[in-house]
Chains A and B, each alone.
Chain A
């Protein structure tokens, strides 16, 4: 095709038209999703912030601006403080347990060649089943004699029966155990993927250099798994901070008992909002939850993220 210099201008015009068309297309494609996020994620978040400064109780049409009094209120509410400490307990008991157990399992699984997918299947099953179902099954298993399977097993071993969900000290760890049981599968799979990503050469080289099994594990494997450990640490922490379904289904009347010993922050929020209809207080508590998640996540990323030098 012959084009002279004077036809560069129309060609340039076509290029510009095409670029415009692409930009417009991009905006067009993004329009609905962006509206969605603005309307479904951002606007409600701002709404929640605003609500936390009012004393609205959803039935009455009166909504008065009350400044920080909701926040003062919840920090003066012993039940709120208990739920705060409980939530931290869930994290402190649950996250290390999940990570250590899954890592151990993944390491063991990495060793065995036969049946690996069979074991993987079994470990993942608790993760994909509805939490409501597994919570009720565990609730039943935790019963005292004569019907609790776990206690019957304990007495078979000659050990005394435990109160589990009925004890103010054992209930929270019991729920943590159920939650950890449900999460292990997910973490094992991710750890396995991470382990299989480690080039065999590193391990071979170290072994040739005379490193024993333990050194291999702690000096090479685990440091190289750091990104995975960080990822799981952060995501599991966030999950435990938001725990709700297990507690709702494993405690008497879903109240987070006995005596608020298992009450997490989200259940407190749910009760305040949808049982007591105290929207302002509930919204304030959700803001606290949000800030907690933000702060703890940032802290974790700072502390745990280290560049590993080979």
Chain B
């Protein structure tokens, strides 16, 4: 009594989805997804198609910061280029020290021209309608993609410089302080139910939410679809967001500044870090830290 309990019940991470049919069309081996960032760029270029006026009609890699792109930049690219997005306790922004991470992302748009934010309105639409050959998305997309009948494959995120990283987030269910007596027993029972193997299996099958229950997770470790997500969890980081909407916008704006306004990635990242630091500072001040 008087304590709060919470356990993660569903976990999600990122992986690289690729469209096997589009790979075949581009004369690429449909069973060999890119393993490094270098391969990612090369293959994306081969997979991109343009119309007569130079507009992209098929994106090699869907680039949508407002989707999972901003997570990819933050927790994966920044680390792969030798830095860390935040201090250990997530109170200080440090990603501006690695502008190469942002530059890699924006080069996809401005230099290699394999995609742009807003293509087909967003990355999910693009990939589901087979107008994008690859997309970095979360495990929660699996069920919808299966329903759309796309011949897709899933791979762990490409590595770079030998560094692998991933972004994970989770749903947690908690018991509040005021829960006591019968209600507490019922709540615990429900939590146990949520964490049980059968529920985890159903969740996995119906939506694609990864199981937090280790026994179930072990079962799918080498599954072609769920495996990469689960393996990605082993080296994943979960960002402590204080205002995900605002922090996502900061990253969206940074990418937009570079590809729409020609601002340098160094400057864009620096300004983004300042904006995000202000958001973090305001929050921590308001909770008395």
List residues of chain A with CB under 8 Å of any chain B CB: 57, 60, 139-140, 143-147, 155, 160-161, 165-168, 252-253, 255, 257-260, 275-276
B145: Cβ under 8 A from any A Cβ: no
- Judge whether A143 and B121 touch: CB under 8 Å: yes
- Judge whether B53 and A259 touch: CB under 8 Å: no
A146 to B126, CA, bound (A): 11
A260 to B248, CA, bound (A): 14
CB-contact partner of A167 in B53, B245, B260, under 8 A: B260
Report the minimal beta-carbon distance from B81 to chain A, rounded to whole angstroms. Answer: 25
- Judge whether A258 and B256 touch: CB under 8 Å: yes
A258 to B64, CA, bound (A): 13
Interface 9-mer from B21-29, B112-120, B219-227: B112-120
A-B contacts besides A252-B122, A276-B246, 11 pairs, CB < 8 Å: A143-B120, A145-B57, A155-B53, A253-B245, A253-B249, A253-B252, A259-B253, A259-B257, A259-B261, A260-B253, A275-B246
A288 to B267, CA, bound (A): 33
* A interface footprint on B98-131 (CB within 8 Å = 1, 0 otherwise): 0000000000000000001111111000000001
For window 241-262 of B, CB contacts with A under 8 Å fall at: 243, 245-246, 248-249, 252-253, 256-257, 260-261
Report the minimal beta-carbon distance from B258 to chain A, rounded to whole angstroms. Answer: 11
A202 to B270, CA, bound (A): 68
- Judge whether B252 and A257 touch: CB under 8 Å: yes
Report the minimal beta-carbon distance from A284 to chain B, rounded to whole angstroms. Answer: 16
Can you report 26 residue pairs joining A to B where beta carbons are below 8 Å apart?
A140-B121, A144-B55, A145-B55, A145-B57, A146-B51, A146-B131, A147-B120, A155-B53, A160-B53, A161-B53, A166-B116, A166-B117, A166-B118, A167-B260, A252-B118, A252-B122, A253-B66, A253-B245, A253-B252, A257-B256, A259-B256, A259-B257, A259-B261, A260-B253, A275-B243, A276-B246
A155 to B54, CA, bound (A): 11
For the A-B complex, the count of residue pairs with Cβ-Cβ distances under 8 Å equals: 61
Q: Which residues of A contact B243 (CB under 8 A)?
A: 275-276
Identify the closest chain A residue to B50 (Cβ): A145
Report the minimal beta-carbon distance from B274 to chain A, rounded to whole angstroms. Answer: 12
A147 to B260, CA, bound (A): 21
Identify the closest chain B residue to A256 (Cβ): B249
- Judge whether A161 and B286 touch: CB under 8 Å: no
9 closest cross-chain pairs (CB), A and B: A166-B118, A145-B55, A146-B57, A258-B256, A259-B256, A161-B55, A252-B66, A168-B260, A253-B66
Q: Which residues of A contact B261 (CB under 8 A)?
A: 168, 259
A125 to B249, CA, bound (A): 36
A66 to B256, CA, bound (A): 36
Report the minimal beta-carbon distance from A71 to chain B, rounded to whole angstroms. Answer: 18
Q: Which residues of A contact B51 (CB under 8 A)?
A: 145-146, 155
